[in-house]
């Protein structure tokens, strides 16, 4: 497969996914926040809570629309740009996508209409239920797509069928209850809750700074900061579990996240550091230009044992017999055996030679776990871009901790003091809104760039997964998406800021 | 219950689900049809806003059905998903772009500070309604006319035409279904407005629009039928090889009388709905017309997929053609998905319930002009 095609296809997928994920997190979290607010309105009957609910609901809708617009392409892009992938694993991967459509999308879209237009048409109770169902529906849709993503990171519950040349599902429960999928789901919805809380707290701060609708802004702030504080703790715990899963299933990604070239026991984590750009797998230069390390943490994070050995990139590429780590070279050899056996099986079947087919099948089964390595050219190919993974990971973690501190501060001040006196806190809260998005995208970069070159871990590299198409086509669609999505994003931000300026009393 | 079904039975079951989804999706194209009528049926901004809001409460269901259509094909017939979406790249991309611009247009159309201005969002809706629907019709038409692709022993597919799907536009016969679908959606859109908006002028103009659109629809639809029922089709023999069989689609109807009956009943219902609306000023014919569209389209898709027919034929290499047998998911996955499909009646149930709750009162001018209205 030509390199430029793979690059453009990856670029397009990254572009569309990054855009889509600008809108998803807010939908995930704000849906619940709005539902809390409406519940208070229904319980108290206080019209001001209805106004609060409607204000945030309007912002929810503006965000939701562009989330839908950028989402439809994701459903089809596996086919349009990753056709070989779609066949190779479609038997497993397609199911969660279809279930997502049946169980989640319809719930969202049906009750979305009731939530917006039903105020005077349906009973209060049915309206409230609809608001909750929109929140639940959007979180359910996240569940299924993240099950699918988790499966790509850690494929389980399937067997390779050489007759159809694809992986076939053998256990549905293994797929959806895979620990990688579960921790990925929890961590991702957690990030959505935190971003939505930052959004609510930040905008409420701005309104307070502008001395606008103070009572309602404060009430919103309390809800946002409470939800944000609880969910940011949850986010940190689920992040810890995610890192543990990465250590168990994708050790190369973990090594890249920490820039760990040489493996070690009692490995520490770099709190802040700068990578040495001259460092390669081959040389012995220092990994960092400077670093501030917290001892033991990486061993503990990865393996829940402060003495555990964390393999470095060199161990994983060149092998380490002492630690019982197989070299990539050996995996490539096994992979090539598997690919060759698969071809022999096909030929034998074609020639109706059963004996030979059985022989080939045995070799294939034995080496199937390394199938994807058979397509790699050299061992170093298994190493993802280290700097991008490293910095994204650290940025995400630092920001995550900052958000927790911010929510705690805001919550304390708004409850115990007069928040409008704390201008610096209010401004920090406002400026933390974009930081939330940066943290979430950084998290996805860790997850997706960090697992390169794999489309499906160990089974299929991106170079094989891509559609057979000339790169010019993909280049054109890349730019079309870039222009269209950017234009729509500008429109969205302009509309959103206008609605925020109108405030709680403004038109919805 | 699905354990007892053979692989072939599951494949047929899933083709039926896909066909039903296709039918439901075409019914939901009333939203697209309605979008193309916004200017023609309104005399001022308020009237237009009434129509936009009437459609605005439904558009997401159609959109979601399209998304589900993609997901269900991926799960049940992954080889179609990889071959067609990856192969006919530009047709599907064009369709997707037409739907991306729809998704923001309702919400952003009259919001202050909306960057592009109201007109642009209305043009988006117009493009979605005309070009989006037309291209969908053309894409479905290739189920009958065939495409140029080759599938290797790994089941990786190779599209053989550099136009990547746009070559379907070089075959004028594919236009028949494209235009038929466009005019059908306009008819359904008008029927929907008549039922959903309590406002005489709009109802009156809608009835008038149906007259022309019905004639245009019948012309293209009958043309499409004449072509399909007389053309050679792509059949499968006992060993699984594909061969050309004259009058295949006509025979499919004759061999599957239930499918034929569904088809005829569907067409008759659409015609009856139009007749009752024009002649007797009935306002609730969207139900009959909509059911008719669902039945007719479902039957058409059943025709092209069942009775040993290759539903996605390759004219480049006949044996690469896709059938429900060679393109489906595994027995296990189809079974799991079978259980999931049992949720569909439940989902349809709550959609109908919510729809009913919302449409108990029709859209009126007063509602749109109310001070606390949430308008699109």
pLDDT tens figures, A106-141: 999 999 989 988 888 889 999 999 999 999 999 999
The pLDDT of residue A97: 87
Q: What residues in B contact A168, CB-CB < 8 Å?
A: 329-330, 332-333
pTM of the model: 0.93
Cβ of A98 within 8 Å of Cβ of B111? The answer is no
Closest by CA position to A203, among listed A63, A64, A71: A63
The pLDDT of residue B358: 85
Contact indicator for A262, A314 with CB cutoff of 8 Å? yes
Distance CA(A42)–CA(A37), nearest Å, equals 9
With a CB-CB cutoff of 8 Å, which residues 36-75 of chain B face chain A?
53, 56-58, 60-61, 63-64, 66-68, 70-75
Structure tokens at B227: 């072509």
- Half-sphere exposure of B234 toward its Cβ, with a 13 Å CA cutoff? 26
Burial A310-333 (b: 16+ CB within 10 A, else e): bbbbbbbbebbeeeebebbeebbe
Share of chain A above pLDDT 90, in %: 82
pLDDT in tens, A237-251: 999 999 999 999 999
The pLDDT of residue A53: 95
Q: In sequence order, which residues have a C-beta less than 8 Å from that of residue B115 and are 6 or more positions away? A: A487, A490, A491, A494, A495
Share of chain A above pLDDT 70, in %: 99
pLDDT in tens, A323-339: 999 999 999 999 999 99
pLDDT at A508 over 70: no
ipTM value, please give it: 0.92
Cβ of A110 within 8 Å of Cβ of B354? The answer is yes
The pLDDT of residue A203: 97
Distance CA(B96)–CA(A76), nearest Å, equals 9
Q: A173: how many CB neighbours lie within 10 A of its CB? A: 9
Stretch A147-158: mean pLDDT: 93
Closest by CA position to A271, among listed A246, A301, A250, A234: A301
User: Quick check: B85 contacting A, CB < 8 Å?
Assistant: yes
Distance CA(A177)–CA(A283), nearest Å, equals 42
User: Which of A91, A124, A148 should be substituted to probe chain B, the one whose Cβ sees the most B Cβ atoms within 10 Å?
Assistant: A91
| Sole residue written with tokens 């089964």 | A365
Residues of chain B with pLDDT under 70: none
The pLDDT of residue B123: 96
In angstroms, the separation between the Cα of residue A406 and the nearest Cα of chain B is: 32
Q: What residues in A contact B336, CB-CB < 8 Å?
A: 95, 169, 172
Beta partners for residue B233, in sequence order: B245
Range from A282-291, A364-373, B168-177, B241-250 carrying the lowest mean pLDDT:
A282-291
CA A2 vs CA A47, A462, B149, B151: distances in Å: 62, 11, 20, 19
The pLDDT of residue B158: 95
pLDDT in tens, A157-186: 999 999 999 999 999 999 999 999 999 999
The pLDDT of residue A208: 95
Residue ranges of alpha helices (H) inside B306-361 are: 331-341, 343-359
Count Cβ–Cβ pairs < 8 Å, chain A vs chain B.
267
In angstroms, the separation between the Cα of residue B84 and the nearest Cα of chain A is: 8
Task: Tell me which DSSP letter residue A419 carries.
Answer: G
Structure tokens at B148: 């140029």
Closest by CA position to B232, among listed B252, B255, B261, B259: B252
The pLDDT of residue A1: 53
pLDDT at A98 over 90: no
pLDDT at A507 over 70: no
Q: Is B235 left (phi over 0), alpha (psi -120 to 50) or beta?
A: beta
Query: What value does the mean pLDDT of chain A take?
Result: 93
The nearest alpha carbon in chain A to B154 belongs to: A165
The pLDDT of residue A379: 93
Supply φ then ψ for residue B301, to 5 degrees. Answer: -70, -35
Cβ of A98 within 8 Å of Cβ of B337? The answer is yes
Cβ of A78 within 8 Å of Cβ of B74? The answer is yes
The pLDDT of residue A120: 84
Q: Pick A308 or A1 by higher pLDDT.
A: A308
Closest by CA position to B138, among listed B97, B164, B172, B114: B172
Closest by CA position to A244, among listed A327, A326, A189, A187: A187
The pLDDT of residue A2: 72
Q: In sequence order, which residues have a C-beta less than 8 Å from that of residue B208 and are 6 or more positions away? A: none
């Amino acid at each position: 497969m030509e390199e430029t095609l793979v690059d453009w296809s990856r670029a397009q997928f990254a572009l569309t996914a990054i855009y889509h994920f600008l809108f998803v997190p807010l939908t995930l979290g704000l849906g619940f926040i709005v539902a809390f607010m409406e519940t208070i309105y229904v319980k108290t009957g206080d019209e001001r809570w209805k106004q609060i609910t409607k204000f945030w609901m309007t912002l929810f809708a503006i965000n939701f629309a562009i989330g839908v617009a950028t989402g439809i392409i994701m459903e089809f892009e596996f086919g349009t740009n990753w056709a070989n992938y779609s066949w190779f694993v479609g038997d497993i991967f397609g199911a969660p996508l279809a279930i997502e459509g049946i169980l989640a999308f319809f719930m969202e879209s049906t009750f979305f209409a009731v939530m917006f237009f039903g105020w005077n048409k349906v009973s209060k109770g049915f309206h409230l239920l609809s608001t909750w169902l929109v929140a639940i529906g959007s979180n359910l849709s996240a569940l299924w797509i993240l099950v699918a993503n988790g499966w790509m990171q850690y494929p389980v519950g399937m067997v390779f069928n050489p007759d159809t040349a694809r992986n076939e599902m053998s256990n549905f429960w293994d797929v959806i209850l895979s620990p990688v999928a579960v921790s990925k789901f929890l961590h991702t919805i957690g990030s959505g809750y935190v971003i939505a809380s930052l959004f609510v707290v930040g905008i409420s701060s701005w309104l307070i700074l502008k001395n606008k609708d103070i009572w309602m802004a404060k009430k919103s702030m309390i809800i946002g900061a409470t939800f944000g504080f609880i969910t940011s703790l949850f986010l940190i715990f689920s992040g810890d579990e995610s890192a543990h899963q990465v250590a168990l299933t994708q050790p190369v990604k973990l090594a890249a996240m920490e820039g760990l070239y040489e493996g070690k026991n009692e490995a520490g984590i770099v709190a802040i550091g700068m990578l040495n750009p001259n460092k390669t797998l081959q040389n012995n230069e220092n990994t960092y230009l400077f670093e501030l390390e917290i001892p033991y943490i990486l061993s503990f994070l990865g393996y829940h044992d402060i003495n555990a050995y964390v393999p470095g990139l060199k161990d994983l590429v060149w092998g380490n017999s002492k630690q019982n780590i197989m070299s990539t070279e050996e995996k490539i050899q096994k992979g090539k055996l598997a690919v060759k056996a698969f071809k022999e099986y096909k030929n034998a079947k074609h020639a109706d030679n059963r004996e030979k087919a059985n022989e080939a099948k045995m070799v294939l089964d034995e080496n199937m776990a390394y199938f994807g390595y058979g397509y790699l050219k050299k061992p170093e190919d298994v190493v993802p871009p280290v700097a991008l993974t490293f910095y994204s990971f650290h940025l995400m973690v630092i920001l995550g901790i900052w958000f927790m501190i911010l929510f705690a501060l805001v919550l304390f001040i708004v409850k115990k003091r007069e928040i409008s006196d704390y201008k610096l806190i209010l401004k920090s809260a406002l400026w933390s809104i974009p930081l939330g998005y940066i943290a979430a995208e950084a998290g996805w970069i860790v997850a997706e760039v960090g697992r390169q070159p794999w489309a499906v871990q160990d089974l299929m590299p991106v170079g094989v997964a891509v559609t057979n198409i000339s790169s010019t086509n993909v280049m054109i669609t890349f730019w079309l998406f870039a222009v269209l999505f950017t234009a729509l994003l500008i429109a969205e931000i302009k509309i959103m800021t206008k609605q925020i300026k109108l405030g709680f009393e403004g038109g919805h | 219950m699905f354990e007892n079904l053979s692989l072939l039975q599951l494949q047929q079951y899933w083709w039926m689900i896909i066909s039903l989804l296709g039918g439901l999706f075409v019914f939901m194209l009333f939203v697209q049809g309605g979008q193309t009528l916004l200017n023609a049926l309104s005399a001022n901004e308020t009237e237009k806003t009434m129509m936009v809001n009437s459609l605005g409460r439904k558009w997401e269901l159609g959109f979601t059905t399209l998304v589900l259509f993609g997901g269900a094909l991926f799960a049940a017939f992954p080889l179609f998903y990889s071959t067609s979406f990856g192969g006919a790249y530009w047709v599907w991309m064009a369709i997707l772009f037409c739907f991306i611009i729809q998704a923001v247009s309702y919400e952003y159309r009259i919001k202050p500070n909306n960057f592009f201005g109201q007109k642009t969002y209305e043009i988006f809706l117009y493009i979605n309604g005309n070009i989006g629907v037309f291209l969908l019709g053309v894409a479905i038409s290739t189920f009958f006319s065939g495409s140029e692709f080759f599938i290797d022993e790994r089941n990786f597919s190779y599209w053989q035409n550099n136009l990547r799907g746009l070559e379907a536009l070089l075959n004028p016969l594919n236009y028949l279904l494209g235009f038929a679908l466009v005019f059908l959606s306009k008819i359904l859109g008008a029927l929907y407005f008549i039922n959903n908006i309590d406002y005489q002028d709009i109802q009156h103009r809608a009835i008038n629009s149906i007259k022309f659109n019905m004639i245009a629809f019948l012309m293209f639809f009958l043309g499409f039928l004449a072509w399909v029922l007389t053309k050679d089709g792509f059949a499968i023999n006992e060993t699984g090889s594909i061969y050309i069989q004259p009058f295949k689609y006509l025979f499919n109807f004759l061999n599957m009388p239930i499918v034929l009956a569904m088809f005829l009943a569907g067409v008759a219902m659409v015609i009856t709905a139009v007749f009752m609306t024009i002649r007797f000023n009935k306002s609730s014919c969207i139900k009959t017309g909509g059911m008719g569209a669902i039945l007719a389209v479902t039957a058409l898709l059943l025709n092209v997929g069942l009775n040993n027919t290759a539903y996605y034929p390759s004219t480049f290499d006949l044996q690469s053609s896709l059938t429900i047998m060679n393109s489906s998911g595994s027995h296990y996955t189809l079974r799991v998905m079978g259980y999931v499909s049992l949720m569909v009646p439940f989902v349809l149930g709550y959609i109908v319930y919510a729809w009913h709750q919302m449409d108990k009162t029709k859209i009126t001018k007063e509602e749109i002009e109310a001070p606390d209205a949430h308008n699109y």
